[in-house]
Amino acid sequence: MSFPQFLQQNGSELLTLLRQHLVLVFVSTLVAVVIGIPTGILLTRNKAWRSPVLGLANIMQTIPSLALFGFLIPLPFIGGIGARTAIVALVVYALLPIIRNTVTGIVGVDPNVREAAVAMGMTSSQILWQVEIPLAMSVILTGVRVATVISVGVTTIAAAVGAGGLGVYIFRGLRQYDNNLLLAGAVPAALMALVADFSLGLLEKHFSVEARSRKQKTNRRLRNLILVAAGLLIATGGYFIWHGSRARTQAPAGAQRVTIGSKDFTESVLLAEIVAQLLEARGIVVERQFELGGNLSHEALLSGRIDLYPEYTGTAYTAILHHPPITDPHAVYDQVRTQYAEKFKVETSQPLGFDNTFAILVRGAEARRLHLKTISDAVPHARSWRAGFGQDFMSRADGYPGFVKAYGLQFADQPREMDLSLTYIALSSGKVDLIAGNSTEGRIAALDLFQLEDDRHYFPPYEAIYFARQDTLARVPAVKEVLAKLAGTISTAEMRRLNYEVDGNKRGQSEVVREWLHAKGLYAQGQGCPCHQAVITKVIPRTKLEKSFSI
């Protein structure tokens, strides 16, 4: 599919993400200006506080954005997932240039000008507002300009905490190896940064002393235009925030509401979308908080910000409950179900029918050439191989340290730690020779990769399940009915095909899920697909995918 065709088919979603991105940047920059400029003014009046405050702002600026999001999520009031957390983080990043430039601009005013103002009998307040701030305005606006450009870039990371924006397309494009998605996310973000930089640069020049002395009349006109434009921006931003909030909260009287989360990879989104559509078919209002990075889904579930999300027994057993890996699937499931209920007040669904374990992958051509079938077969060759693993695999108890020990593996170099989605691309292109992927990944077949058998049974079982809050099951009985209906309905082959429809054929998750639900006959009698929902935009004819799932 060409990029123009992609834009034509996905224009509505792109505009929504663009609007979310604009609102996050505008609101966070506005808040940073409201906080930063008064703070900078106060620091010019109190020199003792200047170094500590600027030092703290410098420290906050050096914290990686994802780490800052992680710190903010557990905090009450300002934390959680969604736009609120993103705005708080963006404000933190924007404060330093605004505060610093406000201080620099005011302190840099010529002392002779201040003395002349004092000689004229002006008060300290009059000197500030009529002399210092007008003369420093160009420097202050430079700080706002830098802060705005920083916010445009950092907002792309906000997609990891469910805040939306153009980062959704960027992360999705990395997972699906889709240049159209990457371009659709990166190009508008870059253009937005350039437009903001150019526009604020013009405004900055307009407030310079030279420009004011040359064009007083033009200044007044431009000032009025700026005020009108600022008013329109504030009104537009307020409308979008209000409208978005209203769209989320508006529901038929008495309607039940459920918030569903997912992790930030295709399979998790698909599993979450399956439950979402089945609940919507029963008249439940569903709010989607998909593509949450790391363990945000777990944290959001415990804090009550989401009601359920898909997970895997092995992940819960080792990464959350911190047990050493075991290979008995029944023992893992029973302990996860019992301990989640006791510790977290969370219920565990029955397994969905497939096991998404770590898949040790090599290129198919290499496996055929060397006659590789198992991981043990690959051990003698690994000494000359380069390996690449996702951050999750490198850090987990059931990941890299135990894996190399169990098989006695040695590689030519220290394994490259990288984004999981990029490891498939690196392996296929020959940049690495062995990776740890997911056994249900659709790109295994698409990229001609080969999964080596875990002949020593190192990896624990990773049966797909759903976690749901106990209070949600009591409040919305339909959730329990839907989860029970999904038990044992998805095979490993089916899940791999569903993933490939999204990652390989570049189809929308909602369309793929809707076809699968129809093919499996999972809608209750008299129920149809929730076509009134925004995620469904057209009726798709019966496809090969749907035929392959017919029962």
**Residue 236: pLDDT band by 50, 70, 90 thresholds?**
low
Assigned token pair, 475? 């409040």
- For 465, phi then psi, to 5°, come to -145, 175
Enumerate residues 6+ apart whose C-beta is below 8 A from 72: 78, 79, 85, 88, 89
According to DSSP, the residues that pair with 309 across neighbouring strands are 467
**SS3 state of residue 490:** coil
Residue 55 CA to residue 438 CA, distance in Å, equals 44
pTM score, whole prediction? 0.67
pLDDT for residue 524 is more than 60: no
- What does 175-203 look like in DSSP terms, one character per residue? HHT-HHHHHHHHHHHHHHHHHHHHHHHHH
Tell me the mean pLDDT in the region 82-108: 89
Question: How many residues belong to the chain?
Answer: 551
Task: Name residue 260's amino acid.
Answer: I
User: Which residue, 180, 173, 152, is CA-closest to 503?
Assistant: 173
Assigned token pair, 253? 């009287």
Q: Which parts of 142-274 are beta strand (E)? A: 257-263
Q: Which parts of 405-448 are beta strand (E)? A: 416-418, 434-438
- Give the per-residue pLDDT at 274: 97
Spatial contact of 36 and 94, defined as CB atoms under 8 Å apart:
yes
Assigned token pair, 163? 């805040």
Q: What angle in degrees, to the nearest 10, is found between the helix axes of 266-281 and 477-485?
A: 120
pLDDT digits (tens, 9 = 90+) for 409-461: 999 988 988 878 788 889 999 999 999 998 898 888 888 999 999 999 898 89
More confident residue, 463 or 444: 463
- Give the per-residue pLDDT at 229: 58
pLDDT for residue 548 is more than 50: no
- For 61, phi then psi, to 5°, come to -65, -30
Spatial contact of 158 and 165, defined as CB atoms under 8 Å apart:
yes
Assigned token pair, 239? 């409308």
Residue 44 CA to residue 33 CA, distance in Å, equals 16
pLDDT for residue 341 is more than 90: yes
Residue 15 CA to residue 457 CA, distance in Å, equals 48
Residue 478 CA to residue 223 CA, distance in Å, equals 57
Residue 517 CA to residue 348 CA, distance in Å, equals 22
Rg of the chain on CA atoms, in Å:
27
Distance of CA 386 to the CA centre of its chain: 29
Place of tokens 């490993």: 492
